[in-house]
Amino acid sequence: MIELEQIIKEELLGVNNPKIKVETLNEYLGSLKVKELHKMAIFPAFIDDDFLSFAEVERLKNKPKKNIIAYVTKNLDKILESYIKIIRTNEINQLKIIIKNNNKKIIFGDLPISIHFLLFLKKFFIAKVEYDNKDDSFRVFIPEEFITILNNCFENKELLKLNKLNNNVYNYVKNVINTYGVITIDKLYELFEKQMFRINEDKLRHIITICSVYEEENFYEYNGEIILYSSSFESDEDALAFYNSQKMNYKKYSKEDYKNIANFQYAEKLKSYKKFVNYLYRNYYDISDIFDYIKNFIIYDYLASAQLSIEEADNNFRNNIIKILEVDDEEINNLLKLVKDIFNDYPKWIKRGNV
């Protein structure tokens, strides 16, 4: 196993956690802390924007723990349904796999279960997760009462339809944020209305808000405007400073382009990119084995670096290309010219978004 990957698993999943055990619903809920139970109880009110339920749960703060457990037990259907409303659609399939293997040891890599989703299960107390670094395995325990409700959720067409809507909206939002780096919610709504489908602006804001709790996106309120910014900024202050320093004249792209930019695939549609690829395949034997490396760490590295410093990008390109190809100075210059052509065709915003 890659050492860094193991460290991440141990830190995030908790290699030294107590061994999980099979528990009844009361035992499971009773093992949670009061603040964890309160977080479970209030989640549906937040997802559904239900102020009456929110106030009811808030009043439980000063009640005995058994009162919160009783509330959670009574509203378990709503609680679990609220999670299904916001998880990524592909993670519904992961949850089905975990339910089928409830309380069984699973070797990482044997089944398509992501660390991200296991953390979600832990964070929202849907399950207890045990990680064993000796054989790189994990075990998940979900109470039977949870499983019954979740299986019903999988058959609920309206619930799955809402999940799909929230995913479609939020995936678009994330792609736009990753493209520009910083954008106001008003500008985002303008783009959304033209490219997606008509939706009330308050509804759009609410979907962004509820999904951001899961995805942990970044929001900042400034002079009455809500600013959304990408994770490439380290703080609100950095994003705000950048926003104030730029004219932020947003060039508009298609839905597919936003998606391709966010997924590092936009350049591949450019003629200059195809010209560079054809040149490599014509002049270098069996380049296919290392092409993914060239794409990610040569081409896209140049596109990112050149937006900050052409000189630094050129130097990085020269240093990196000689590590994988037998080239002299003349050939390096030929390859560099082809990459520069891609950069000249590539969208540039002098920003901190994705490239």
Helix, strand, coil shares, percent, the chain, to 5:
65, 10, 25
Same domain flag for 7 and 145:
yes
CB atoms < 10 A from the CB of 157, how many?
Answer: 7
pLDDT higher than threshold 70 for residue 17: no
What average pLDDT does this structure show over 78-99? 92
Q: Give the angle subtended at the CA of 39 by the CAs of 35 and 43, to the nearest 5°.
A: 170
User: Do 244 and 272 reside in the same domain of the chain?
Assistant: no
Provide the domain limits for residue 254: 159-261
**In terms of domains, do 9 and 138 share one?**
yes
Residues 290 and 236 in one domain: no
The answer to whether residues 290 and 212 belong to one domain is no
Q: How confident is the model at residue 1 (pLDDT cuts 50, 70, 90)?
A: very low
Average pLDDT, the chain: 83
246 burial level (CB within 10 Å; 0-12, 13-18, 19+): middle
DSSP characters for 122-188? HHTTS-EEEEETTTTEEEEE--HHHHHHHHHHHT-HHHHHHHHHHHHHHHHHHHHHHHHSEEEHHHH
> Could you tell me the two tokens for 150?
């979740």
| In-domain check, residue 350 | no
pLDDT in tens, 135-164: 888 899 999 999 999 999 999 999 999 999
Q: Is the pLDDT of residue 246 over 80?
A: no
pLDDT at residue number 94? 94
Q: Distance (Å, rounded) from C-alpha 102 to C-alpha 84? A: 18
Q: Residue 254 has what pLDDT?
A: 81
- Return the sign of the alpha-carbon dihedral for residues 201, 206, 211, 214: positive
Residue 325 reports pLDDT greater than 50 = yes
Average pLDDT of span 306-311: 79
**Does the pLDDT of residue 339 top 90, yes or no?**
yes
pLDDT band at 353 (very low <50, low <70, confident <90, very high): very low
Judgement on whether residues 8 and 147 belong to the same structural domain of the protein: yes
Note whether 150 and 221 are same-domain residues: no
So what's the pLDDT on residue 249? 64
What percent of the chain has a predicted confidence (pLDDT) above 90? Answer: 31
Examine residue 355 and state whether it is found in any structural domain, yes or no.
no
* Mean pLDDT, range 159-186, rounded to an integer: 84
Q: Among residues 214, 231, 261, which one ends one of the domains?
A: 261
CATH of the domain at 214: 1.10.10
Does the residue 352 lie in any domain? no
Structural domain contains residue 59: yes
Lowest mean pLDDT segment, chosen from 88-102, 109-123, 126-140, 248-262: 248-262
Does residue 269 share a domain with residue 225?
A: no
The Cα 180–Cα 281 span in angstroms is: 33
- Mind giving me the DSSP string for 28-87? HHHTS-HHHHHHHHHHHHHHHT-HHHHHHHHGGGGS-HHHHHHHHHHTHHHHHHHHHHHS
**Does the pLDDT value for residue 216 go beyond 60?**
no
For 114, which DSSP code? Answer: -
Whether residue 20 sits in one domain with residue 119: yes
| 60 and 98 Cβ atoms separated by less than 8 Å | no
107-138 pLDDT per residue, tens:
988 889 988 889 889 889 999 998 888 888 88
Residue 255 DSSP SS3: helix
- Non-local (6+) Cβ contacts of 265 within 8 A are none
Total tally of structural domains belonging to the chain: 3
* Residue at which a domain ends, from 193, 228, 261: 261
Q: How does residue 352 score in pLDDT terms, banded at 50, 70 and 90? A: very low
Q: Residue 74's closest CA among 57, 86, 49?
A: 57
Q: Which of the listed residues 139, 154, 169 is the one where a domain comes to its end? A: 154
- The mean-pLDDT minimum among 20-29, 132-141, 142-151, 241-250 falls in 241-250
Is 354 a member of any domain? no
The average pLDDT across 32-36 equals 92
Query: If we measure between CA atoms, which residue out of 355, 351, 350, 322 comes closest to residue 336?
Result: 322
Q: Mean per-residue pLDDT for 179-206?
A: 79
Average pLDDT score over residue span 34-41: 92
Regarding whether 218 and 237 lie in a shared domain, the answer is yes
- 54 and 30 belong to one structural domain: yes
pLDDT of 103 reads: 93
Q: Using 50, 70 and 90 to split pLDDT, how confident is the model at 354?
A: very low
- Clarify whether residues 147 and 251 are in a common domain: no
User: How many helices (H) does the chain have, and how many strands (E)?
Assistant: 19, 6
- Flag the least confident range among 54-58, 68-72, 348-352: 348-352
Confirm whether 353 is domain-assigned: no
